[in-house]
Amino acid sequence: MKSNNFTQALKELTGFDGPADAAGEETPAQPKSAAKAPAESAFQPEKNTAEPFNLDDLIPEKTVDISGEEVTHITSTMVINGDIKSEDNILVEGQIYGNVQTAANLTSSNLIIGNLHAQNAALNDARLKGDINLDGHLNVNSGTVVIGDVACDSIKVSGKIKGNLDIKSSVVLKDRALISGNIIADDIAAEPGTRINGTISTRSDSFDLDAEFDFGGDF
């Protein structure tokens, strides 16, 4: 038939099978996937790659040095009833019932019932009932109990303090530290496990509080 001759000629010239033949061709089957991939969630939490938090990296350890020839040593067998005033470092291993004042540093591992004034101080497994006023740093280790207010430049606490803390710069509260009182400082950092019964505040005089909450207009 002419139509067949025309169709055959068209195939030879163009290589196109024409609508009728094209419709008759089967589309190759697409391979079925083994399982349908689940849709990705719109929220993908970030993996925590941060290093463990360590307060010692944030605020370096400060030591209280009482080494040297000029040391007032209260030995473990001594009990002093009365005030002590010295220009030298003081090492307390005995008991003092009175105020202690030194222009240098103090370390205590026993009992002081009285106020303490020094440059720096370290209380190691000590008991102190009285106010503490230091020009520099105070270390309070895990075996120490203090009953009294504390004022100093910086403090690191692993033990227990019942009193208010007025700290000029930084406060570091280690695991299991216990503070029963209000804390005010420029910087405060605490590890998990710290126990606080009181208020915590940073000084607002180091920044303009109104400017921090200014929306840029009258609202």
Q: What is the pLDDT of residues 102-151, one digit of tens each?
A: 999 999 999 999 999 999 999 999 999 999 999 999 999 999 999 999 99
Nearest Cα to Cα of residue 112 among 78, 88, 151: 78
Is pLDDT larger for residue 51 or for residue 161?
161
Q: What is the dihedral of CA 141, 147, 151, 152, to 10 degrees?
A: -20
2-12: average pLDDT: 58
The model's pTM is 0.68
First-to-last C-alpha distance (Å) of the chain? 90
40-68: average pLDDT: 49
pLDDT for the residue numbered 13 = 56
Sign for the CA dihedral angle at 194, 198, 204, 205 comes to negative
The Cα 88–Cα 20 span in angstroms is 111
pLDDT for the residue numbered 217 = 67
pLDDT for the residue numbered 12 = 63
Arithmetic mean of pLDDT over the chain: 79
Torsions phi, psi of 122, nearest 5? -130, 125
The Cα 134–Cα 137 span in angstroms is 7
Q: Which two tokens stand for residue 179?
A: 């503070």
pLDDT for the residue numbered 112 = 97
| pLDDT tens per residue, range 171-195 | 999 999 999 999 999 999 999 999 9
Nearest Cα to Cα of residue 74 among 98, 52, 57: 98
The Cα 57–Cα 47 span in angstroms is 23
70-79: average pLDDT: 92
Is pLDDT larger for residue 4 or for residue 34?
4
Is pLDDT larger for residue 197 or for residue 57?
197
pLDDT for the residue numbered 214 = 78
| pLDDT tens per residue, range 201-210 | 988 666 677 7
pLDDT for the residue numbered 213 = 76
Distances (CA, A) of 26 to 11, 31, 157, 199: 18, 15, 81, 79
Res 58 pLDDT > 50? no
Q: Where does 70-143 have alpha helices with state H?
A: none
Percent of the residues in the chain that have a pLDDT greater than 70, as a whole number: 65
